[in-house]
Amino acid sequence: EMPANDQEPPQIELRVMGADDDGRMVADGTVRLPTDGLAAVGQVLHRILTGIAALYGQPIGSASPKPANGNQPWTAELDERLASRWAQAPDTTAAKAIATLAEEFGRSRGGIRSRLVKLGCDPDHPGRRDVP
């Protein structure tokens, strides 16, 4: 949170970063937002990005189907298989390994990353385990 003077509300500084499937940085920027208007700013950003996507002919909303096993619980067997597959993937980028595992397990990329962390695997370094 950024300190504000007596006339201005407190602000936060938000850094937005994004990478494509190959791990290349495709977005990087910082914006300061007043804390008393975050919901309104969120709505404005949504409208702006939706409009820009439409201008470039990109689908609005979720264009891809939901993962087949996205809402299914993880089992001990699946956890063991995921950790094993991650340990066998040191010769690729994290983005590619996670995309492959997401398809294999029928899960979202975010779901795979999250589960790797819970299993003590480093989701940014394929093959690396036992992260504290």
The model's pLDDT over 36-52, given as tens digits with 9 standing for 90+, comes to 888 888 888 888 888 88
Residue 5, domain member (yes or no): no
Tell me if 69 sits within 8 A of 107, measured CB to CB.
yes
What's residue 25's pLDDT? Answer: 86
What number is the average pLDDT over the span 57-74?
80
Same domain for 44 and 107, yes or no, is no
Residue 2, domain member (yes or no): no
- Considering only residues 102 and 3, tell me which one the structure prediction assigns the higher pLDDT: 102
Same domain for 51 and 69, yes or no, is no
What's residue 22's pLDDT? Answer: 80
CA-angle at 114, arms to 102 and 66, nearest 5°: 40
Residue range(s) defining the domain that contains residue 91: 65-132
Residue 113, domain member (yes or no): yes
Same domain for 96 and 44, yes or no, is no
- Percent of the chain residues topping a pLDDT of 90: 39
Residue 72, domain member (yes or no): yes
Same domain for 42 and 72, yes or no, is no
The model's pLDDT over 82-132, given as tens digits with 9 standing for 90+, comes to 999 999 988 889 999 999 999 999 999 999 999 999 999 999 999 888 765
Residue 1, domain member (yes or no): no
- Give which of 118, 119, 112 is closest to 94, Cα–Cα: 112
What's residue 63's pLDDT? Answer: 55
CA separation for the pair 130, 120 (Å, rounded): 5
Same domain for 77 and 127, yes or no, is yes
Q: How many distinct structural domains can be found in the chain?
A: 2
Give the predicted TM-score (pTM) of the model: 0.53
**Residue 80 scores a pLDDT above 70:** yes
